[in-house]
C-alpha cells in the first residue's frame, strides 16, 4: 500500500515566522521610504516583500488542497480495504497521487528555504545599505521558478483528484459486476426448447450407441450465450418454472439424474424444477421439451 499522508482536520491557521518577517520588512520599507524618499532599490525590496507574502498565501492555499486530497484518499482506502477484489488501476492512481504530493512537499520546503534566504538578504541589505541588483534579480528568478513548479504541482494534484473520482465510479460498476459474477457462479444457465430446435441450433447431440432397442443418449455440445434472452438463470436450491412438458435435462456430460442433480414437480401449465447439485453451479443445462 502507498505511504499514507496524515490528514489534518480543522487546522487553525497561525501566522508563520516568514509572514511576520515579511510584515516587518514591509513596515521597515515604508519607514525608510517616508524618511528618505523611495529609491529604485527600495522599491525592488518592497516588491520582493510583497512576493514573499503572496508565496506564503499560495502555500497555505495548497495545504488546504493537500488536506482535501488526504481526506479523499482515506475515504477511498476505507472502501477498497472492505473488498476482496481490489481494482489495481485505482491503487496505481493513489500511488501516483502520493508521488505528486511528495513532490509538492519537497517544492514547498524548497520555497520556504528560499523565502528565508530572501528575508535574510533583505535584512542584510537594509543594515549595510547595499543595492546589489544582480543578486536581487537572481534570487527573484529562483523564487519565480519555484513558484511556477508549485503551480504545476497544484494543477497535477487537482487532475489526480478528478481521476480518482472517475475511478470511484468505475469501482462501483466493478462491484456490481462482481456481484453478478458471484450469482452466476451459484446458478445454472438453463435453455429450454424442443429436441429438433436444439439440434438445428447446434446445442444438442443425440445417439443410440447400441441401436434403437436401447435408450437414447443426450449431450450438450455448445456453450450457451448468457446474453441470449431465452437463457434463464436458476440459482441452486431455488425453483424455476418452465412452460410445457419436459422430456429430459442435459449438460455437457449427458443426462442429469433426477433426485441427485435436480428435483421437479408439475405445476399449472408446466414444470417447476429445483437444481440441487452444487457441481452444476456456473454450468449450462439444456431442458429438452416434448413436441
Distance CA 269, CA 286 (A): 19
Per-residue confidence (pLDDT) for residue 30, from 0 to 100: 54
In a domain, 264, yes or no: yes
Per-residue confidence (pLDDT) for residue 220, from 0 to 100: 93
In a domain, 134, yes or no: yes
User: Do 119 and 208 share a domain, yes or no?
Assistant: no
Under DSSP, the state recorded for 102 is H
Per-residue confidence (pLDDT) for residue 138, from 0 to 100: 79
Residues forming a β-bridge with 265: 272
Render each residue's pLDDT in the chain as its tens digit; 291 residues: 444 434 444 443 444 444 555 555 555 555 555 555 667 877 888 888 888 888 888 888 888 888 878 887 887 777 766 665 556 777 777 788 888 888 878 888 888 888 888 888 878 777 776 666 777 777 888 888 888 888 888 888 888 877 787 787 777 776 766 666 676 678 999 999 999 999 999 999 988 765 555 678 899 999 998 888 999 999 999 999 999 899 999 999 999 999 999 999 988 888 999 999 988 888 899 999 988
Per-residue confidence (pLDDT) for residue 28, from 0 to 100: 57
State phi, psi for 140 to the nearest 5 degrees. Answer: -70, -40
Per-residue confidence (pLDDT) for residue 14, from 0 to 100: 46
Domain boundary among 184, 199, 222: 184
In a domain, 10, yes or no: no
Domain boundary among 149, 184, 219: 184
User: Do 24 and 78 share a domain, yes or no?
Assistant: yes
User: Do 148 and 270 share a domain, yes or no?
Assistant: no
Domain boundary among 156, 184, 212: 184
**CA 87 centroid distance within chain:** 7
User: Do 73 and 131 share a domain, yes or no?
Assistant: yes
In a domain, 271, yes or no: yes
Residue 65's nearest CA partner among 159, 168, 1, 167 is 159
Residues forming a β-bridge with 204: 220
User: Do 41 and 171 share a domain, yes or no?
Assistant: yes
**CA 49 centroid distance within chain:** 43
Q: Residue 262 in contact with residue 256, Cβ under 8 Å?
A: yes
Per-residue confidence (pLDDT) for residue 263, from 0 to 100: 94
Per-residue confidence (pLDDT) for residue 62, from 0 to 100: 80
In a domain, 7, yes or no: no
Provide the domain limits for residue 220: 188-289
In a domain, 53, yes or no: yes
In a domain, 159, yes or no: yes
User: Do 69 and 144 share a domain, yes or no?
Assistant: yes
Per-residue confidence (pLDDT) for residue 34, from 0 to 100: 53
User: Do 167 and 249 share a domain, yes or no?
Assistant: no
User: Do 275 and 143 share a domain, yes or no?
Assistant: no
pTM of the shown model: 0.40
- DSSP string for residues in 24-90: HHHHHHHHHHHHH---HHHHHHHHHHHHHHHHHHHHHHHHHHHHHHHHHHHHHHHHHHT-SS--HHH
In a domain, 6, yes or no: no
Distance CA 42, CA 52 (A): 15
Per-residue confidence (pLDDT) for residue 140, from 0 to 100: 80
User: Do 272 and 193 share a domain, yes or no?
Assistant: yes
Number of domains in the chain: 2
User: Do 39 and 58 share a domain, yes or no?
Assistant: yes
Distance CA 85, CA 175 (A): 8
Distance CA 234, CA 236 (A): 6
User: Do 238 and 96 share a domain, yes or no?
Assistant: no
User: Do 65 and 144 share a domain, yes or no?
Assistant: yes
Amino acid at each position: 500500500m502507498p505511504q499514507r499522508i496524515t490528514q489534518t482536520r480543522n487546522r487553525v491557521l497561525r501566522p508563520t515566522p516568514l509572514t511576520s518577517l515579511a510584515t516587518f520588512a514591509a513596515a521597515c520599507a515604508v519607514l525608510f521610504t517616508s524618511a528618505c524618499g523611495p529609491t529604485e532599490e527600495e522599491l525592488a525590496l518592497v516588491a520582493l516583500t510583497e512576493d514573499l507574502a503572496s508565496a506564503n498565501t499560495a502555500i497555505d492555499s495548497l495545504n488546504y488542497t493537500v488536506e482535501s486530497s488526504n481526506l479523499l484518499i482515506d475515504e477511498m482506502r476505507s472502501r477498497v480495504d472492505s473488498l476482496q477484489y481490489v481494482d489495481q488501476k485505482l491503487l496505481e492512481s493513489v500511488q501516483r497521487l502520493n508521488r505528486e504530493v511528495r513532490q509538492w512537499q519537497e517544492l514547498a520546503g524548497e520555497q520556504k528555504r528560499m523565502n528565508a534566504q530572501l528575508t535574510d538578504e533583505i535584512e542584510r541589505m537594509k543594515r549595510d545599505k547595499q543595492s546589489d541588483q544582480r543578486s536581487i534579480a537572481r534570487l527573484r528568478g529562483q523564487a519565480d521558478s519555484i513558484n511556477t513548479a508549485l503551480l504545476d504541482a497544484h494543477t497535477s494534484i487537482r487532475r489526480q483528484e478528478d481521476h480518482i473520482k472517475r475511478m470511484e465510479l468505475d469501482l462501483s460498476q466493478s462491484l456490481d459486476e462482481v456481484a453478478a459474477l458471484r450469482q452466476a457462479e451459484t446458478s445454472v444457465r438453463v435453455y429450454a426448447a424442443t429436441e429438433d430446435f436444439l439440434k438445428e441450433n447446434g446445442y444438442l447431440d443425440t445417439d443410440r450407441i447400441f441401436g434403437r432397442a436401447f435408450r437414447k443418449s443426450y449431450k450438450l455440445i455448445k456453450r450457451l450465450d448468457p446474453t441470449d434472452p431465452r437463457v434463464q438463470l436458476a440459482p441452486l436450491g431455488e425453483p424455476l418454472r418452465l412452460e410445457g412438458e419436459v422430456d429430459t435435462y442435459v449438460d455437457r456430460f449427458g443426462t442429469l439424474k433426477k433426485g441427485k442433480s435436480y428435483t421437479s414437480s408439475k405445476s399449472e401449465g408446466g414444470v417447476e424444477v429445483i437444481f440441487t447439485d452444487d457441481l452444476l453451479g456456473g454450468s449450462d443445462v439444456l431442458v429438452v421439451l416434448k413436441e
